[in-house]
């Protein structure tokens, strides 16, 4: 199959590289010439485990290439994936669809022969209809099927998620598109990934419903963690106890500083707006977003309490800045608000993150960046673990305690057993567990 992927951001790049690895002939398109230049040389602008090696291998095999020329790559393609960003529109939380529609216009003018246009970007219900309308208006003779094919991959595990998905969702109203999309994902039949064929609107809502449900699940366990903390129970055991019920499931029940990233905050806000537009309010989602926002402030209060009620003039060492491990992504990372609150309360922040410090330097002010966890902890009055990178799971606790001024450890990801921390002489606070 000949495939063009328009938009070489996170989703587009992973999609293009993995589809080439499936054996398809893939061309990735982006209007950013410097990005395309770098990608052509095998340089990947994001940190995603395994992506660079897979990209290099597929470029070398001749199946994967990069270009800024959309029209050329679209003409002759069997499938054109739209994988451009749909950021939150400033002010109202709606998904900004201007990039999607701009690409649709360009693609419409360039297609030749029967072409499937598949939207991978997360888009509100009805977007596929509008893409189809745009194509008809611009090129009435075009033989095109517009498909919704949302992506469910996680940053940090993107390749694994793409190659071993729980399911693939394909929304369409043209039977020819079913055959084409089956062919695109045929290599996955070996992994027995179910393909759910449905209509376009259902596929569009499925994506938002999945993300909103996961965001709600995290927020739920975070509230249960607060209740456990207040009542002397242990949230980790509650999560295990409820997670063993197959109807609930054990995943996404880890309490923490609140969800962040480029998807959950944006998609919950957009779903709330979509509900309002259709006169069908999404009250649970609305509350989820509000509770998650408030949680970051709660976390800085937790740190301040662990420091004895004030952090004025104290040094706080921060371990982990990115919104989750195995990424360099700082978008909506809880660390941003937690650090800014602590600074407002008078703390000096020294932080270390294995991949996120470059991006953090852009969004944070007056933070000193250290070159290791131990340097960040040196002379600190408290250490706060915000992101559970693997290297923070096996710290030399004796060494850590020796370099710190005061052995106060706030673990916002419940990485350590409280008893072990006590044994090492730390004053230890975690989330939803008895100290
Ligand atoms: C999320 C979804 O998991 C993907 O399925 C989806 O494709 C993607 O959004 C998207 O729409 O593009 P991602 O944002 O990469 O993926 O990261 P997650 O692993 O879902 O984590 C999101 C946030 O939730 C992180 O801040 C993480 O720390 C937090 N989280 C997750 C918890 O606090 N507790 C948990 O149990 C799980």
If we measure between CA atoms, which residue out of 314, 316, 320, 350 comes closest to residue 334?
A: 320
Distance from Cα 261 to the centre of ligand 1, integer Å: 7
Distance from Cα 211 to the centre of ligand 1, integer Å: 8
Regarding the beta carbon of 220 and ligand 1, being less than 6 Å apart is answered no
Alpha-carbon distance of 435 to 427, in angstroms, equals 9
Q: Which atom of ligand 1 is nearest to the CA of 387?
A: 28
Regarding the beta carbon of 211 and ligand 1, being less than 6 Å apart is answered yes
Rg value, the chain, Cα: 23
Q: Which residue out of 165, 256, 329, 336 has the highest number of ligand 1 atoms within 8 Å of its CB and is therefore the one to mutate?
A: 256
Regarding the beta carbon of 252 and ligand 1, being less than 6 Å apart is answered yes
Regarding the beta carbon of 259 and ligand 1, being less than 6 Å apart is answered yes
pLDDT of residue 231: 97
Distance from Cα 83 to the centre of ligand 1, integer Å: 19
Domains and CATH numbers, the chain: 2-198 (3.40.50.720), 208-289 (1.10.1040.10)
CA triple 45-51-52, angle to 5 deg: 65
DSSP string, 404-422: SSS-EEEETT--S-HHHHH
Alpha-carbon distance of 253 to 236, in angstroms, equals 9
Q: Which residue out of 9, 214, 221 has the highest number of ligand 1 atoms within 8 Å of its CB and is therefore the one to mutate?
A: 214
Regarding the beta carbon of 13 and ligand 1, being less than 6 Å apart is answered no
Regarding the beta carbon of 122 and ligand 1, being less than 6 Å apart is answered yes
Tell me which residues of the chain have a pLDDT lower than 50.
none
Query: Mind listing the pLDDT tens digit for each residue in 168-177?
Result: 999 999 999 9
Among protein residues, the one whose CA lies closest to atom 31 of ligand 1: 252
Does residue 307 carry a catalytic annotation? no
* ipTM field: 0.97
Distance from Cα 153 to the centre of ligand 1, integer Å: 9
Regarding the beta carbon of 263 and ligand 1, being less than 6 Å apart is answered yes
Catalytic one among 18, 228, 263, 307?
Answer: 263
Could you give the angle at which helices 127-138 and 200-231 cross, rounded to 10 degrees? 150
Output the CA–CA distances (angstroms, integers) from residue 141 to 75, 109, 175, in the order listed: 14, 10, 19
Among protein residues, the one whose CA lies closest to atom 17 of ligand 1: 154
Cβ atoms of 264 and 240 within 8 Å: the answer is no
Among protein residues, the one whose CA lies closest to atom 9 of ligand 1: 263
If we measure between CA atoms, which residue out of 29, 414, 24 comes closest to residue 229?
A: 414
């Amino acid at each position: 199959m000949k495939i063009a992927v328009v938009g070489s951001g996170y989703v587009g790049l992973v999609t293009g590289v993995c589809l080439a690895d499936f054996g398809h002939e893939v061309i990735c398109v982006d209007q950013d010439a410097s990005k395309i230049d770098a990608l052509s040389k095998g340089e990947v602008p994001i940190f995603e485990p395994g992506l660079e090696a897979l990209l290099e291998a597929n470029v070398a095999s001749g199946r994967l290439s990069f270009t800024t020329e959309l029209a050329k790559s679209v003409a002759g393609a069997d499938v054109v994936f739209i994988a451009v960003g749909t950021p939150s529109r400033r002010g109202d939380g709606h998904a900004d669809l201007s990039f999607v529609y701009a690409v649709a216009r360009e693609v419409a003018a360039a297609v030749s022969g029967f072409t499937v246009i598949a939207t991978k970007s997360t888009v509100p219900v009805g977007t596929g209809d509008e893409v189809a309308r745009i194509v008809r208006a611009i090129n009435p003779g075009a033989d095109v099927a517009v498909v919704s094919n949302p992506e469910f991959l996680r940053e940090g595990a993107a390749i694994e998620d793409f190659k071993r998905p729980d399911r693939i969702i394909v929304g369409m109203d043209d039977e020819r598109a079913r055959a084409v999309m089956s062919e695109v994902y045929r290599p996955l039949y070996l992994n027995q990934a179910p393909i759910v064929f449905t209509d376009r609107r259902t596929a569009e809502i499925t994506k938002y419903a999945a993300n909103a449900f996961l965001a709600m699940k995290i927020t739920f366990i975070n509230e249960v963690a607060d209740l456990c903390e207040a009542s002397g129970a242990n949230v980790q055991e509650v999560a295990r106890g409820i997670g063993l019920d197959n109807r609930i499931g054990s995943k996404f029940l880890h309490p923490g500083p609140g969800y962040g990233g480029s998807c959950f905050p944006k998609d919950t806000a957009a779903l709330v707006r979509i509900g309002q537009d259709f006169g069908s309010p999404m009250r649970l989602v609305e509350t989820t977003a509000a509770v998650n926002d408030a949680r970051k402030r709660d976390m800085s209060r937790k740190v301040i309490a662990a420091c004895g009620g004030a952090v004025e003039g104290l040094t706080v060492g921060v371990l982990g800045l990115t919104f989750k491990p195995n990424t360099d992504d700082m978008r909506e990372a809880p660390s941003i608000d937690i650090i800014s609150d602590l600074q407002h309360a008078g703390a000096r922040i020294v932080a270390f993150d294995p991949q996120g410090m470059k991006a953090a330097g852009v969004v944070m002010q007056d933070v000193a960046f250290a070159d290791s966890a131990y340097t960040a902890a040196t002379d600190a009055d408290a250490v706060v673990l915000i992101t559970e990178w693997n290297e923070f799971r096996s710290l030399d606790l004796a060494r850590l305690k020796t370099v710190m001024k005061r052995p106060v450890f706030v673990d916002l990801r419940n990485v350590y057993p409280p008893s072990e921390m006590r044994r090492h002489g730390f004053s230890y606070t975690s989330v939803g567990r008895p100290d």
